[in-house]
Amino acid sequence: MKLNKLITAKGLIFLLIFSVLVFVGDRINFSKLVGAENQFFTLFQFFGPVAGAFLGSVVGVLSVLIAEVSSYLLLGKAFTLVNTLRLLPMLFAAWYFGTKKYDKVSFLVPVAAIILFVAHPVGRQVWFFTLFWTIPIIIKLLPKKYGERAFLKSLGATFTAHSVGGAMWNYIVPMTPAAWVALIPVVIFERLLFAGGITVSFIALNTLLDKLDARTKSDYVSVDKRYVLFKHAA
C-alpha cells in the first residue's frame, strides 16, 4: 500500500483509533522486563502488530512508529537507549503481520536475531532459547490456508517482536544463562497471551472498520471479511 493512501479520511481515522489505543495501552503495565528497572511490557503488546494488516507492511510500520513516538512524547518518557531500542520490536512485528505470503524480511529478522543471540558469550550457553524464534519462520512456511489464520499470524508476529527484543536485550542488559533459562516458561505464557490478544484486537478492528465501510466508501484500509463479526445479510 502506498504512503499517500494513509492520507485519506479512512486512513487517518484508523491512525487516530490506533494512536489512542497505543496511548492507553502504554499506560497499563502488564509484566516487568527482567534485568532492567522501570521497563515493562504493556497492553500495547496485545494489539501493536495489527496495523500492518490494515495498512500494508510499510505504512503499517510507519503508523506504529508514529503512534509509539507520539505516546512516548505524551507520556513524557525519556528517549534513552533502552527506550529508543524498544520501539523496534513492534515495528518488525507489524511488518510480519502485514505480509500475506513469503517475504525476505519476515524470514531474515528472526534468523538474524538467532545468529546475534548465539554469537554472544551468554547466548551461546543458552542457544536453545532461540528455538522460540523459529516459530515465525515455520508459520510463514505453512500452506496459506494455515499460515494466514489470525492466531498463527499473531503468534508469528509476537515471536518476531520477541526475537528482536531478545537479541538486543542480550547485548544491552547483563543477564546470566540461568536467568534466560528461567524465562522460558514465562515466555511461553506471555507470548500465548499476546498472540490471543492480537487475534482478538484484529477481529475487533476488522469488525469496526467494516462498519465504517458503510459510511466511508474506500479500499484504503484493508478489511479481512473472514474476521468480521455480525456480518450484514447479503
Residue 191, SS3? helix
State the Cα angle at 40 between 199 and 174, rounded to 5°. Answer: 120
**pLDDT tens-digit profile of 26-85?**
778 777 666 555 666 777 888 888 888 877 777 778 878 888 888 777 777 767 777 777
Residues 129/117, Cβ–Cβ less than 8 Å: yes
Residue 196, C-beta contacts closer than 8 angstroms, at least 6 positions apart: 151, 154
The total of other beta-carbon atoms located within 10 Å of residue 216's CB is 14
With 60 as the cut, is the pLDDT of residue 134 above it?
yes
Mean pLDDT of 84-106: 85
Residue whose grid cell is 489505543: 21
Q: Which residue has the higher pLDDT, 106 or 119?
A: 119
Any domain includes 229: no
233 domain residue, yes or no:
no
**What are the cell numbers at 16?**
487516530
Report the SS3 class of residue 41: strand
- Asked whether residue 228 is domain-assigned, the answer is no
The amino acid at residue 98 is G
Residue 187 in any domain: the answer is yes
227, part of any domain: no
Looking at the predicted structure, is the pLDDT value of residue 219 above 70? Answer: no
Amino acid at the residue 117: F
pLDDT at 37: 59
Residues 46, 90, 195, 45, Cα dihedral to 10°: -20
Write the secondary structure of 103-125 as one string of H (helix), E (strand) and C (coil). Answer: CHHHHHHHHHHHHHHHHCHHHHH
What pLDDT score does 234 carry?
45
pTM, whole model, 2 decimals? 0.85
Cα separation, 150 vs 132, whole angstroms = 19
Q: Provide the domain count of the chain.
A: 1
Cβ atoms of 212 and 10 closer than 8 Å? yes
Within a domain: 226: no
Q: Residue 204: which domain range? A: 3-219
The answer to whether residue 88 sits within a structural domain is: yes
In which band, very low, low, confident or very high, does the pLDDT at 168 lie, cut at 50, 70 and 90?
A: very high
The mean pLDDT value of the chain amounts to 82
Mean pLDDT of 8-32: 75
Q: From the DSSP assignment, how many helices (H) and strands (E) are in the chain?
A: 11, 2
The closest alpha carbon to 131, from 118, 147, 146, 140, belongs to 118
Chain centre distance of CA 129: 20
- CA–CA gap between residue 189 and residue 103 (Å, rounded): 28
1 pLDDT band (50/70/90 cuts)? very low
In a domain, 231, yes or no: no
Residue 124 pLDDT exceeds 50: yes
Which residues, at least 6 apart from 179, have a Cβ–Cβ distance to it below 8 Å? 34, 35
Question: Exposure pattern of 105-127 as b/e (b: 16+ CB <10 Å)?
Answer: ebeebbeebbebbbeeeebeebe
Instruction: Give the pLDDT confidence score for residue 44 in this predicted structure.
Output: 81
pLDDT of 127 strictly over 70: yes
